[in-house]
Each structure stands twice: as structure tokens, then as C-alpha cells.
Amino acid sequence: MFRPVKLTRVTIQTPEEYISEVMAILGDLRLLHLIRVEETHLGRLGYVAHVNTTLLGRYDALLVRINRLLEDLQFPRSSQVVGKTPRPDKVIFRLEEECTAVEKESLEVLEQRNKLRSTLFEHQTLIDRLRLLEPAGLELDRLYSLRYTTFHAGLIPEENLERLETSLGEIHHSLIPIDRKEGRVVLLAMALKEDEAILLRALKSAFWDPLELSTELQGSVTSILERLTGEEQQLEDDLAELENKCKALAHQFGGKLQQLREELLLGRQLLLAQEKFGQIDHTYLLTGWLPISLFDDLKQRVMKASSDKALVEQIDPAEVKEVRSGILSIPILFNNPALIRPFERLTTLYGTPTYEEVEPTAFLAITFLLLFGIMFGDVGHGAVLCALGYLVFKKMFRYLDYGIILMECGLSAIVFGILYGSVFGLEDLIPALWMRPMENISYFMKVSAGIGISMISTGLILNLVNILRQHRYGELLSASGLAGALFYWLIAGLGVRYFLIGPPSAFEILFAKAAGGLLFTLMILQRPVRQLLARRSRTKKGRFLVPGIGVTFLESLVEVLDELLRYLANTASFVRIAAFALAHAGLFMAVFTLADMVRSAQGSGFFYWLTLILGNVVIIGLEGLVVSIQTVRLEYYEFFSKFFRGGGKPFQPLFEEKGTP
Amino acid sequence: MLLAAARYGYANAKVRALRSRKLTEQDRHFLLTAKDLTSCLSYLATTSYSPCLADPEKTIPELPTLERQLAQPLLGHYAKVVYSLRGAKERELILALFRRFEAENLKIVLRALFANLNRDAVCHLLYPLGRLNDLDWDTLWSCKSVSELLEHLRPGIFGQSLQHALPQFEAQGRLFPLEMGLDFSCFRILRQAISALGSRYDRTVTEKILTLYIDILNISWVIRLKKDYGLRPEEILNYTLPEGSLISLACLNHLARAEDIAEFVNHLPPAFRHELSTIRDWAKLAQRLETYFLKALARIFSGQPFHIGIAVAYLLEKEIELANLITLLQAKARNLPVEEIGNRLSWQITESVYVPAG
Amino acid sequence: MQMKGCWIWLITVFFLLLPAMGLGQEAVPAASISPEVAKWGFMAAAVAVGVSSLGAGIAVALVGSAAMGALSERPEMAGRALIFLGLAEGIAIYGLIVAIMILGKI
């Protein structure tokens, strides 16, 4: 729970013939984090990542065909569950055959339908264009017979009309707007036949969209329109028939196509995973991280599948050369019991812990629930939160984690509600097992400061553990290491002693001064001294007062003062726990006062209970939000910042868990 | 004032900190007087452009590729400025400025499609858009024809203008209408973003910057379309941007029909006429206008600090700096003499000034 | 699992016992001053701390965000930026001092 799952580095070497089966086994096992062979030293031995591009090409082409079929048939794409993991090179043949069979039945009908659709569309556009000219009541044959003028009908964008007018200023012209449509103006442009070239040039540069009217169209625009509308009706009937046929096809083949698609995607994913393998001659090499507990199972299955021709080895992570030189980092696989697992989200939000660091999710979970409970303590509200969490847990699969967190927070709030003796704000129903917040304000604040001291101390201890684990011994003497922690405990100890027992004795003050002074000087001097020693060991010359030492000294002083002040600020910041718990109780008082005012105005009854219920809902929403944000802030900025460095790599299994939507 | 400070405190500080890394007087002097392209680039590697220049062991890439690589700091700064602004409307404005680079990339895609080149042949000419990119470039590159590409772009911001320009593209058989359509849509988006801003002061300042920019762009386009493309006045007028402030449509009409420089400058409004009265050369006209614009942008930084105009002005300044840098590098590659290069840049370099190091 | 359960209990007890040990101390009775004046004195102390904290909050927000903006591009300005931040935070302390002085007299 405090360490991630122990991993081991696994290397599998198999001859080419068995690679597909091995891949299928890996697909079933799932918990293998593959490393690109090229990144390891084996990559330099000549192992090359080799993806079977021709096979991948076939998969891609087939995927395009199936997707298009699904789209044309208008069948929704949804995920299906696939049973066994297939062998990619084998299963492609079956998939291609089945797809061809479906295509044979449906492609022809689909094509006919598409063609009819486009013909109908063209017909419709011609009708629309002629409709544009209808308001002018034009008679086309009369216009064509004009002797000295020429005319052009078309559309131009509205904003270009003014410029067109100005540009034709030199010639005789007439621009007659007929109608406005979709940001464009339907225009009839007329000019003298001798100026037609200028007119055309100007129209050309104004984004002219000519309405082609062939000279065959006789008669007035209205009569032409009637004729075309009649033809359209016939085309629409034909189209409806074809659409029905397509629907029948969709019904018949839709499910099957989806199934094919899922298998295709799975096979493709397996093929792509090959990218991380290495290949030399006819042997494949894979390497990755695997939980130790799964190693024996893997070895057995691979040996069986490859008839003992494969080679499976494991190395302890600490001995892997790349890890020691820092090129590769061991990924971490979280290892928490089910109740604490939802809090992993909060941890990864801040950063991913490295493999050697203490994994702080357990501490996060406990302190989160504790702080939440203290700030939100009420039996009734806790029960509501619990019920809400249970609902989310059961109904909404995607928010499972949040459901569990809500339930646990609710339970914590119930516990502290019992301790405060508060049920939906009523303080006389059950006795307070610990204290009532509103009546012991200063005591509560001292308790909060105490909680702050304990949390920060935990953070400091974890920091020390991390320092030791990561062998960063140089930091022990700094303000964020052992010296800082001891100083903090000294001052905190004095403070606690003052509040519990009374003013400290003269001896204790003297001891505190001496120890504090010693630690303070140590913290300030450690950086300049280390720098000095490093420089002396390199240059081997005398000279204590190296240039730049004064600056380092000053920097060190500022840094230490800053850290110590931050400890003080962090501890004081925990008093907000008391503040929010009191705010919670205060909000209850406000709601009751409001309800009493309503009661005195309207009498006991519907409105009184309505006010109470609404008030409680508001309190749960508001306080819940604020308290959770404040708790997360306290966790991150006061707790995590003491020891969490992050920079780790999360464990990436070979496939995602199937079945999650 | 307090609310404006709260809204723009972070963004203002960030933009000014970014601006502090601009190329200094000394930098420009040394870049201009460098012996050849290689020494110029090695000096450039010591300025804020160093991350995008490859390390000295690798060979220097071709100049077109290098030009796009040098745009990386600029586009990175766009992302930084966008993420430092708090309001969605303010971010929309900066994103609207950014869309111009997306439009440039779209032009490259269109040209490649038109000339049947595949992606690898031209990918070095694309701007590295980075995090602010929201077009799906893979889909766009996989289109087989221009109309398919425009179908994909239809729901986006460029969609409307491209659809409007499509008929002309099909009629003329060249990409020019589509490219102009892209430019128009960029400016339409900018105007929409400005009019959507909440604070009145923000709107006034950005409108001033934008209308000045549009005016200067219009003048440069008229000159370019006349001289380099040889278009007739009716066509030129339809390709100008609407809603400039100082230069009205009638004025542009006269400018498009002007035959020589003197007549051209005469028709400009007084503010520009002052600046440009002594120019005798078409190329120098555009460059002088850019200097005028740079001066106007610099003035914004000495006024009230808490508005969106600071971010806009900085990004435009940096873009102009980049354009000048690229002109400089191209001139160095052709080994032009120093005075001639100086004539083509809109930086105000007083060449005789030598600022000692330190 | 037994060891783990043991650990959990130990830690919980540690957290609860430490602070729960101890009894509170009674507050020292205040010096004599008429309750009317004391009422106003408490009010004044509260207002002093409240309003100065508000002012400090606004100041730190503005200075802090600008400092962050500048620091993100030029980390070498950290020293100067933090000095300005310290100036802004001091405003809260002034209010606190006044409140303590008032409460000291009551």
C-alpha cells in the first residue's frame, strides 16, 4: 500500500514462427508495460523495430471499407465486446472475406441511391435559380431579341455591389437588383453591346455567379418553373423506394459489420504493439515490465505456446543498467486496497510518484477523510452524502470513483457529527461525545493547529524516508531535510508545551535557544560549505574566500528564513479547519433563524419545512464544495509539498480494460 | 480604469515582455552590414530568432523553407497572446488576425491541387501554425479536386467567400478569384470580430488600426494590380477591400485610373500626401507607407496601456519585422549592395549609427 | 493485509489523540472600558481589517497577474516583480496593525 507493485524486467526471445501466439498471450495477460527495444542497450546490438507494414496496410484498407459501409447504411458505431484475442495474421483473411460478402449484396443499391440523390439535387438547384428570377417577371425570349443592349443575370455578394457600381462608372450601364438571398444579390446587369467586354471584366472581378440560361428556354420564367416542378415529383418517388431498400440492408448486415470492426481494431492494435519489439534475422525480442506475481504464469504459457523454443528471462529492476544510469525509469503500478483506490486520482493530479518514493495515496486518503469530517461534521448531512455516493456508485459506471469517495466522506462526516452531537443542525437530539464547535472556539483553533503540526510532521518524516531511499544524503542538513525538521519540532514542541501545561521553564528556554541556534547556523552554512568543499576538491588550491561565496551565503540565509517562515505560515493555515467547521454550524443557525421568521409570518406548515429543506440543500452544496476544495488545497500545498517530488512514469498496460464505456 | 487593468494586466505585461525581444537598432545594423547570407544568419542566431534556426552543424535549408521557419516565433507569439487574454471576444479578435496565416496555407494547398503536386513537394512552404490551428489539414490534403476542398471548407469561416468565388474560378479556370476570396473573408472576419468587442475604447482603437491597415493595403494592392498584373481599372476597383477610413471608394476610383505617380499621389488624402510627396518610384511608395504604419503602431505603445490594441499592434509590428527580415535575407542571398538593401526595407535604419556593444 | 490494517489504525489514532489531548485555557478578562465605546471599537477593528484586506486583494490581483505575464517571458525580472508584489501585500498588514492596536486598547 505504501509502495507500488513490485515489478520485474522481463525479456522474451522467440523465433519468428511463434510471435503471433506470444502476442495473443500478452494480449490476454494485459499487465505488461512494453519498452521500446531500440531504447535499451539491446537496440544497439542490432535489434530493429519492425512493423509488418503490408499486413498493417491490409488492416487499414479493410477498416476504411467497413467504416464506409457502416456510414452509408447509417448504422451507428458502437463498441462490442470481443471474446478471445485473435492471431492478427490469420484472422485478416476471414475478416476480408466476410466484408466482401456484405459488399457484394449492398454496394450496388447504395450506388444507385447516391446517383439518384445527386440528380435530384441538380434539378432542385436549377429550380431554385429560376425562382430567383421569378419576381422580375422576365420574358426570356424578348430579352434575347434586344438589338443594342446585352444582359447578364447572376448573383454577386452584397458587399461587392457598391464597388461594382463605381467601377462601371465610365460606361452606360444598368444594374437591376431583383432579390436578396443568403448574403448575395440577384442582379440583372445590362450594358451596351459595344461595352460588353468592360462589363464582363468588372463582373468577373466582383465574384459574379452567372445564372446560365440557355437560349432554348422559351416563354416566361413562370411556365418553365411549372414544367420542372412536375419532373421533380417523379424523381422523389424513385428515391423513396431506394431508401427503403437501403434500410432493409442495414437491418440485415449492421450488427455483423460492427462485430467485424471490433475484431479488426483489436488485431490492428496487436500489430501496432509490434512497434515496440525488436527483430534480428528470424528472432523477435520483447522486453517490458511485469508484476513479479505474474511472471511464472507468463513463462509457463509462453513456453507451452512456443514448444519450449522461446527464452523468457527476468532481471531485478535495481540491476538493470538503464535504470541505474537514469535513462529509463521504473513505471509505477498503484497497489492500494479498493477503498483507497479512488484517491489515486488526486495523487496523480499533483504528479506521479517515482518508484523509490513513498506512495502517498494512503496518507492522502486518511487525512482527506479526517479533514473533511471535521469541517463537515453533521450526522444528517453525512447520511445524505453517503446516500448520494451510493446512488452514483450503483448507477453511473463512469463516476464510480467519485461515488466511493462521496460515500467515504459521508461516513466520516457521520462519525464527526456524532462527536459534535449535531443532527441536521439540531444540537439537542444527541449528546456531544467530544465538544460543541460553537462553544469552544479557541480550543477548537488550538486543536486545528495541533492537527496541522501532526500533518506537517508526517510530511517531514516521509521526506526523510524519501531522502534516505533516494540516497540524497546531501540534503539532510538543509532546511528541507533533517535539520529543518528538528528545528520545526523544537519550536512546535515548545508551542504545544506552552498551551498544554504553561510557560516553559528557564532551562527549557535556554535549551531551545541553544539547539535552535545550532540548527539555524547549520542550515545556513550547509550550502556554502558544500560548494566550497566541491570547489576545493576540484582545484586543490588554498583560498577560503572564493569569489561568489558571499552571494551563496546570502542566498542561503534568505532561503532558510523563507523556509522557516513557510513552516509557520503552513501551521497557521490549518486554523482554517476550525473556521470552516464553525462556518458550518453558523450556517445552520442562519437557516434556523430564517425558518423561524417564516414560521412567525406564515405559521408552522409547508413554507417552514420548505425553507428548512432548501436551506439544508444549499448548505450541503456550498459547504461540500468549499470544504473539499480547502481540503485538497491543504493536502497539496501543506502536505505534499514537503516530500512529493514526482517525475515518475505511470504503468501503461498493453491494452485498455475492455468493457469500460 | 480598474476593470480594464484587471482584464488586461496580464496580457499587457506579457505583450510588453515579448516586445522587449524585438530586433534592436544594433541588431538591424549588424544584419544589414553582414558580409553574406551565412554571416547574416549566424548573427540572427544570436537574437530572439535563434530557436527556429537550425544549429550550426546542420546545413542551412533553402531560403523559402527558412522563411517559413522564421515565422515560427511570430505564430508562437500569437498563441501566447491568445492564451493570455481573458475574454472570449478579445481572443476572437486575435484569432481573426491569425486566420490570415491559415488562409495563406490554404492558398498553398489550392495551388498544389491545381498544379497536381502532392503534399511533400510543398510542405516546406506552409506556415507552422502550431496550437491555434483548427482546420483539419489531413482531410484537406486528401481532397482530389478543388470543389471537394471547398465542400470541406464550406462550414468554416472561409466557406461563404469561397463559395461566392467558386463560379468565377470555374469560369476563368484560374485560382486568382479564390485567393482574393480568401483575402476578403479574412478581413470580413476581422471586422466582425472588432464590432463584437465589448468595450468602446477597445473598439475605437482597433478600428483605427484596422482601417489604417486596410487603407495602406488598398493602396499597395492598387499599385500591384496596375503595375505587376496589368489589370484594367474596372477590375482593380472590384478587388479592393471595403471600409477603409481615409480612402473612400471614389478616391480609389481615381487612384485606379491614375496614369503616373504625380497624379496618383495627388488623389491621396492629405495625411498620405504629406508623407509621399517626394517619392518618384512606385516600389518606394509601398515601402514608405509601411514605415508610416509602423510609426502609427509605435505611438500606440506610449498611450493608455490597458486595451486590446496593444496586443494587435505588437503582432502586426512583429509581422512587418518578419517581412523586412525576409526581404533582407533574400537581398543578401543575391549579394546586393548595402544601400540598395536599405532602400527596400521599411525599418528606419540610420546606417551610420554604430551602437557599441554592452 | 493485517499489517496494513494495523498501520491505518495507528495513523488515525496519532492524528486524533495528539490534538484531543489537552484542555482549553480560559481567556483573560479584558481591561475595563465602557461597553458603548467597546462596541464601536470592535466594529472599527473589523472594518479596518476587512477593507484593507479587500484593497490588498485587488492590488495583489493586478500586480500579480502583470508580474506573471512579464515573468513568463523574462524570468530574470522575477526579483523586481516580487518587490512590487510585496508592496501590494503590505497594505493588508497596515489594516491588521490598526486593528490590533484598537483591540489592544479595548
Query: Which residue out of C54, C60, C65 would a mutagenesis test of the B interface target, given it has the greatest number of B Cβ atoms within 10 Å?
Result: C65
Q: Is residue B231 part of a domain?
A: yes
Residue B84: list chain C partners with CB under 8 A.
69
Residue whose C-alpha cell reads 470555374 in the numeric block: B170
Residue B249: domain span? 200-306
A171: alpha, beta or left, given left = phi > 0 and alpha = psi -120 to 50? beta
Using a CB–CB cutoff of 8 Å, tell me whether B11 touches chain C. Answer: yes
Question: Sign of torsion, CA B159 B160 B166 B169?
Answer: negative
Mutation to test the B interface, candidates A118, A166, A182, most B Cβ within 10 Å = A166
> Which pLDDT score, from 0 to 100, does residue B207 have?
92
- What pLDDT does A153 receive? 84
- Chain B contact for C65, CB < 8 A? yes
Q: Which residues contact A572 (CB under 8 A, 6 or more apart)?
A: A449, A452
Q: In CATH, what number is assigned to the domain containing residue B243?
A: 1.20.1690
Of A278, A229, A218, nearest in space to A131 by CA:
A229
According to the model, what pLDDT value does residue C29 have? 46
pLDDT the model gives residue A51 = 64
Q: Which of B5, B9, B17 sits opposite C73 (nearest CB)?
A: B17
- For chain A, the first-to-last Cα distance in angstroms comes to 28
- Hey, how many other C-beta atoms are within 10 angstroms of the C-beta on B348? 11
Q: Which is more confidently placed, C84 or A409?
A: A409
Write down the residue that cell numbers 462601371 correspond to: A168
Q: C19 contacts in A (CB within 8 Å)?
A: 446-448, 450-451, 454
Q: How much is the pLDDT for B170?
A: 85
Any domain includes B92: no
Q: Which residues of C touch A362 (CB under 8 A)?
A: 7-8
A499 touches C at CB < 8 Å: yes
How far does A525 lie from chain C, in Å, by closest CA? Answer: 23
Closest-CA residue of chain A to C24: A443
pLDDT digits (tens, 9 = 90+) for A332-351: 888 888 888 899 988 887 77
SS3 B29: helix
Residues of C with CB under 8 A from a CB of A: 1, 4, 7-8, 11-12, 14-16, 18-25, 27
From the CA of A306, how many Å to the nearest CA of chain B? 42
Interface contact flag, A447 C7, Cβ < 8 Å: no
Inter-chain contact C69–B21, Cβ cutoff 8 Å? no
Interchain contact A418–C (C-beta under 8 A):
no
C-beta atoms of C73 and B12 within 8 A = no
C-chain residue closest to B10, CA distance? C66
Contacts of A197 in chain B (CB under 8 A): none
Do A92 and A148 lie in a common domain?
A: no
Chains that touch B (3 or more CB pairs under 8 A): A, C
Q: Which residues of chain A have pLDDT under 70?
A: 37-52, 75-88, 213-219, 221, 274-275, 280, 322, 326-327, 539-547, 654-661
Helix/strand/coil for B175: coil
- Grid coordinates representing B58? 546542420
Which of A159, A162, A168 is nearest residue B234 as measured by Cβ atoms?
A: A168
In this complex, which chains have at least 3 CB pairs below 8 Å with chain C? A, B
User: Concatenated DSSP letters for C23-68?
Assistant: ---PPPPPPP--HHHHHHHHHHHHHHHHHHHHHHHHHHHHHHHHHH
Burial class of residue A656 (count of CB atoms within 10 Å of its CB; 0-12, 13-18, 19+): exposed
SS3 per residue for A439-452: HCHHHHHHHHHHHH
Chains near A (3 or more Cβ pairs under 8 Å): B, C
Q: Is residue A562 part of a domain?
A: yes
Domain boundaries, position A569:
472-574
What is the separation of C-alpha A221 from the centre of its chain, rounded to a whole number of angstroms? Answer: 60
How far apart, in whole angstroms, are the C-alpha atoms of residue A373 and residue B311? 48
Does B235 reside within a domain?
yes
Contact B237 A167 (CB under 8 A): yes
ipTM over 0.90 threshold: no
Give the gap in angstroms from C-alpha C67 to the nearest C-alpha of chain B. Answer: 7
Interface mutation vs chain C, best among B2, B8, B10, most C CBs within 10 Å: B10
Q: How far apart are CA B86 and CA A256, in angstroms?
A: 50
Question: Which of A374, A375, A343 lies closest to A359 in space, CA to CA?
Answer: A343
Three-class HEC string of A254-282: HHHHHHHHHHHHHHHHHHHHHHHCEEECC
CA distances from A128 to A60, A118, A132, A228, A334 (A): 42, 15, 6, 11, 65
Of A367, A442, A451, which is closest to C19 when you measure between CB atoms?
A451
**Chain B residue closest to C72 (CA)?**
B14
Does B210 lie at the interface with C, CB-CB under 8 angstroms?
A: no
Residue A253: C-alpha distances to residues A15, A105, B152 (Å) = 40, 10, 30
A209 and A80, same structural domain?
Answer: no
* Structural domains of chain B, count: 1
Query: Does residue A207 lie within any of the structural domains?
Result: yes
**Smallest CA–CA separation between C71 and chain A, in Å?**
20
Positions in chain B short of pLDDT 50:
350-353, 355-358
In a domain, B284, yes or no: yes
- 3-state SS assignment for residue A472: coil
Flag if A337 and C21 touch (Cβ within 8 Å): no
Flag if C19 and A446 touch (Cβ within 8 Å): yes
Total residues found in chain C within this entry:
106
Question: Do the chains contact at C7 and A434, CB–CB below 8 Å?
Answer: no
Q: Dihedral sign for Cα B177, B182, B187, B188, please.
A: positive
Q: How close is the nearest chain C Cα to the Cα of B19, in Å?
A: 10
Contacts of C74 in chain B (CB under 8 A): 17, 20
Is the Cβ–Cβ distance between A623 and A584 less than 8 Å? yes
Q: Which grid cell sits at A146?
A: 434586344
Residue A503 C-alpha, separation from nearest chain C C-alpha, in angstroms = 13
Domain count within chain A: 3
Choose the CATH number for C34-106 among 3.90.79.10, 3.30.2000.20, 1.20.1250.20, 1.20.20.10. 1.20.20.10
Q: Is C66 on the interface with B (CB under 8 A)?
A: yes
Is some CB atom of chain B closer than 8 A to the CB atom of A162? yes
The residue from A552, A574, A596 where one domain ends is: A574
Residue B56 lies in a domain: no
CA distances from A126 to A212, A213, A239, A520, B30 (A): 9, 10, 19, 90, 64
Give yes or no for A160 touching B (CB within 8 A). Answer: yes
Question: For chain C, which residues make up each domain, given as ranges?
Answer: 34-106
Same domain, A209 and A74: no
CB A362 to CB C27 under 8 A? no
Which residues of chain A lie closer than 8 angstroms to C7, CB-CB?
1-2, 362
Whether residues B17 and C74 touch (CB distance < 8 A) is answered with yes
Mutate to test the interface with A, among C18, C21, C82, C89 (most CBs of A within 10 A): C18
For residue B173, the distance in angstroms to the closest alpha carbon of chain A comes to 12
C82 Cβ under 8 Å from any chain B Cβ: no
Do B234 and A205 lie within an 8 Å CB cutoff? yes
CA distances (Å), origin A534, targets A521, A540, A551: 20, 10, 16
